[in-house]
Amino acid sequence: MSQTFDVIVIGAGPGGYVAAIRAAQLGFKVACIDEWSNADGGPAPGGTCTNVGCIPSKALLQSSEHFEHARLHFGEHGISTGAVKIDVGQMLGRKNTVVKQNNDGILYLFKKNKVAFFHGRASFVQADAAGYQIAVAAPAAGAEPQTLSAKQVIVATGSSARELPGVPFDEVNVLSNDGGLRLGAVPKRLAVIGSGVIGLELGSVWRRLGADVTVLEGLPTFLGAVDEQIAREAKKAFDKQGLKIELGVQVGEIKALKKGVSIAYTNAKGEPQTLEADKLIVSIGRAPNTQGLNAQAVGLQLDERGAIVVDADCRTNLPGVWAVGDVVRGPMLAHKAEEEGVAVAERIAGQHGHVNFDTIPWVIYTSPEIAWVGRTEQQLKADGVAYKAGTFPFLANGRARALGDTTGMVKMLADAATDQILGVHIVGPMASELIAEAVLALEFKASAEDIARICHAHPSLSEATKEAALAVDKRALNF
Ligand code: FAD
Ligand code: NAI
pLDDT digits (tens, 9 = 90+) for 19-43: 999 999 999 999 999 999 999 999 9
| Number of domains composing the chain | 3
- Mind giving me the DSSP string for 233-293? HHHHHHHHHT-EEE-S-EEEEEEE-SSSEEEEEE-TTS-EEEEEESEEEE-S-EEE--TTS
Instruction: Specify the pLDDT at position 2.
Output: 82
Q: Which atom of ligand 1 is nearest to the CA of 326?
A: 52
Q: Is residue 1 over pLDDT 70? A: no
Going by alpha carbons, the residue nearest to atom 35 of ligand 1 is 53
The finding on whether 176 has its CB within 6 A of some atom of ligand 1 is no
Distance 20 CA to ligand 2 centre (A): 28
* Count of residues in the chain: 479
What is d(CA 227, CA 367) in angstroms, rounded to the nearest whole number?
17
Cβ-contact 403, 335 below 8 angstroms: no
Instruction: Specify the pLDDT at position 202.
Output: 98
pLDDT digits (tens, 9 = 90+) for 162-210: 999 999 999 999 999 999 999 999 999 999 999 999 999 999 999 999 9
What is d(CA 299, CA 124) in angstroms, rounded to the nearest whole number?
10
Radius of gyration of the CA atoms of the chain, in A: 24
Predicted TM-score (pTM) above 0.85: yes
Q: What is the mean pLDDT of residues 266-279?
A: 98
Instruction: Specify the pLDDT at position 251.
Output: 98
In a domain, 30, yes or no: yes
The answer on 326 and 221 residing in a single domain is no
The finding on whether 339 has its CB within 6 A of some atom of ligand 1 is no
Distance 283 CA to ligand 2 centre (A): 6
Instruction: Specify the pLDDT at position 144.
Output: 78
Going by alpha carbons, the residue nearest to atom 4 of ligand 2 is 196
In a domain, 59, yes or no: yes
Distance 341 CA to ligand 2 centre (A): 23
Q: Is residue 445 over pLDDT 70? A: yes
Q: Report the side by side order of strands in the sheet with 279-282.
A: 174-175, 279-282, 189-193, 212-216, 244-246
Residues 6+ apart with CB under 8 A from 72: none
Ligand minimally distant from the alpha carbon of residue 134 = 1
In a domain, 165, yes or no: no
Backbone angles phi, psi at 390, to 5 degrees: -130, 130
Buried b (16+ CB within 10 A) or exposed e, 32-41: bbbbbeeeee
Instruction: Cite the DSSP H helix spans in 330-382.
Output: 334-348, 377-382
What is d(CA 426, CA 196) in angstroms, rounded to the nearest whole number?
17
Bridge-partner residues for 195, per DSSP? none
What is d(CA 295, CA 463) in angstroms, rounded to the nearest whole number?
51
Ligand minimally distant from the alpha carbon of residue 363 = 2
Pocket test for ligand 1, best of 10, 36, 48 (most atoms within 8 A of CB): 48
Instruction: Specify the pLDDT at position 139.
Output: 77
Q: What is the mean pLDDT of residues 287-313?
A: 97
What is d(CA 366, CA 199) in angstroms, rounded to the nearest whole number?
10
The answer on 12 and 154 residing in a single domain is yes
What is the band of 64 on the pLDDT scale with cuts at 50, 70, 90? very high
Going by alpha carbons, the residue nearest to atom 24 of ligand 2 is 285
Ligand minimally distant from the alpha carbon of residue 194 = 2
Instruction: Specify the pLDDT at position 393.
Output: 98
Going by alpha carbons, the residue nearest to atom 36 of ligand 2 is 197
What is d(CA 106, CA 142) in angstroms, rounded to the nearest whole number?
26
Distance 204 CA to ligand 1 centre (A): 21
What is d(CA 151, CA 227) in angstroms, rounded to the nearest whole number?
44
Look over the chain and give the mean of its residue pLDDT values, rounded to a whole number. Answer: 97
Cα torsion at 330, 335, 337, 339 (round to 10°)?
Answer: -100
Q: Verify whether residue 458 is a known catalytic residue.
A: yes
The answer on 280 and 291 residing in a single domain is no
The answer on 323 and 388 residing in a single domain is no
What is d(CA 266, CA 369) in angstroms, rounded to the nearest whole number?
30
The finding on whether 47 has its CB within 6 A of some atom of ligand 1 is yes
Instruction: Specify the pLDDT at position 130.
Output: 84
The answer on 122 and 259 residing in a single domain is no
What is d(CA 135, CA 297) in angstroms, rounded to the nearest whole number?
12
**Containing domain of residue 466, as a range?**
359-472
The answer on 306 and 218 residing in a single domain is no
Q: What is the mean pLDDT of residues 126-145?
A: 86
The finding on whether 182 has its CB within 6 A of some atom of ligand 1 is no
How many C-beta neighbours within 10 Å does residue 283 have? 24
Ligand minimally distant from the alpha carbon of residue 365 = 2
The answer on 372 and 240 residing in a single domain is no
CA within 13 Å, CB half, 253: 4
Burial of 425 (0-12, 13-18, 19+ CB in 10 A): buried
CA within 13 Å, CB half, 46: 25
Domain end, chosen from 264, 284, 304, is at: 284
Q: Report the DSSP pairing between strands 159-161 and 174-175.
A: unpaired
The finding on whether 200 has its CB within 6 A of some atom of ligand 1 is no
In a domain, 167, yes or no: no
CA distances from 244 to 2, 64, 213, 384, 397 (A): 56, 18, 6, 35, 29
What is d(CA 245, CA 234) in angstroms, rounded to the nearest whole number?
12
What is the band of 340 on the pLDDT scale with cuts at 50, 70, 90? very high
The finding on whether 214 has its CB within 6 A of some atom of ligand 1 is no
Q: Which atom of ligand 1 is nearest to the CA of 123?
A: 18
Distance 120 CA to ligand 1 centre (A): 16
Distance 57 CA to ligand 2 centre (A): 14
In a domain, 327, yes or no: yes
Instruction: Specify the pLDDT at position 416.
Output: 98
Instruction: Specify the pLDDT at position 67.
Output: 98
What is the domain-level CATH number for residue 8? 3.50.50.60
What is the domain-level CATH number for residue 404? 3.30.390.30
Torsion over CA: 63, 67, 70, 76 (sign) = negative
The finding on whether 117 has its CB within 6 A of some atom of ligand 1 is no
Amino acid at 360: I
The answer on 186 and 144 residing in a single domain is no
Which of 66, 77, 354, 458 is catalytic? The answer is: 458
Backbone angles phi, psi at 358, to 5 degrees: -80, -10
pLDDT digits (tens, 9 = 90+) for 369-398: 999 999 999 999 999 999 999 999 999 999
Q: Is residue 141 over pLDDT 80? A: no
Bridge-partner residues for 421, per DSSP? 414
Q: What is the mean pLDDT of residues 76-102?
A: 97
The answer on 153 and 300 residing in a single domain is yes
* Torsion region of 330: left, alpha or beta (phi above 0 gives left; psi -120 to 50 gives alpha): left
In a domain, 479, yes or no: no
Cβ-contact 160, 167 below 8 angstroms: no
Amino acid at 456: H
Q: Which residues line ligand 2 (CB under 6 A)?
A: 164, 193-199, 201, 216-219, 251, 283-286, 331-333, 363-365
Distance 328 CA to ligand 1 centre (A): 12
Going by alpha carbons, the residue nearest to atom 12 of ligand 1 is 11
Distance 198 CA to ligand 1 centre (A): 13
The finding on whether 290 has its CB within 6 A of some atom of ligand 1 is no
The answer on 403 and 337 residing in a single domain is no
What is the band of 138 on the pLDDT scale with cuts at 50, 70, 90? confident
In a domain, 328, yes or no: yes
Q: Which atom of ligand 2 is nearest to the CA of 362?
A: 40
Domain end, chosen from 226, 251, 284, is at: 284
Q: What is the mean pLDDT of residues 433-452?
A: 98
Q: What is the mean pLDDT of residues 66-75?
A: 96
Domain end, chosen from 284, 314, 344, is at: 284
In a domain, 477, yes or no: no
The answer on 155 and 44 residing in a single domain is yes
CA distances from 4 to 129, 194, 350, 368 (A): 13, 45, 21, 50
Q: What is the mean pLDDT of residues 138-155?
A: 87
The answer on 10 and 153 residing in a single domain is yes
Q: What is the mean pLDDT of residues 435-447?
A: 98
Distance 222 CA to ligand 1 centre (A): 25
Going by alpha carbons, the residue nearest to atom 45 of ligand 1 is 333
How many C-beta neighbours within 10 Å does residue 415 have? 16
Ligand minimally distant from the alpha carbon of residue 165 = 2
What is d(CA 89, CA 192) in angstroms, rounded to the nearest whole number?
22
